[in-house]
Amino acid sequence: MKTAISIETPLLEETDRTARKLGVSRSRLVSLALKNYLRQRRNQEIVEQLNQVYGQPAGVAEQPTPGQRKAKFRSIIKDSW
C-alpha cells in the first residue's frame, strides 16, 4: 500500500545512503525499520507485563502459587491482545 509521510531532510538523506549500501529500495528499508521497531516495542510490552506479574516482591506468606501466577499472567496478556 502506498502512503505519503514527511521525513526531515537529514534523515531522508541517511535513509537513501543506507538503502543504496544495502542494495534495497528506500521503501523496503523503511518497511524493514518500521517492522523492527514494532517488534521491539511488542517485546518491550511483553517484558513490562512479565515484570508486572513477577517483578513485585511479596512476603513469604503472600507468595502466589504457580497456578495463581499463571492465571494472572494470562489475564494481563488477554487484556492487552
Is 1 inside a domain boundary? no
**How many domains does the structure of the chain reveal?**
1
- Confirm whether 3 is domain-assigned: no
Lowest pLDDT segment from 23-32, 51-60, 66-75: 51-60
Query: Does 4 fall in a domain?
Result: no
Domain limits at 70?
A: 9-53+63-80
**Where residue 76 falls among pLDDT bands split at 50, 70, 90?**
confident
Average pLDDT, the chain: 86
Q: What is the pLDDT of residues 1-21, one digit of tens each?
A: 889 999 999 999 999 999 999
List C-alpha distances in Å: 26 to 21, 31, 35: 11, 9, 14
pTM summary value: 0.60
Distances (CA, A) of 72 to 30, 43, 49, 55, 75: 37, 19, 10, 13, 5
Whole-number Å distance between alpha carbons of 77 and 52: 11
Q: Please indicate, yes or no, if residue 16 is contained in any of the structural domains.
A: yes
Asked whether residue 77 carries a pLDDT value surpassing 80, the answer given is no
Residue 22: inside a domain, yes or no? yes
- Cα angle 75, 43, 14 (rounded to 5 degrees) comes to 150
The pLDDT score that the predictor gives to residue 55 is 77
In a domain, 29, yes or no: yes
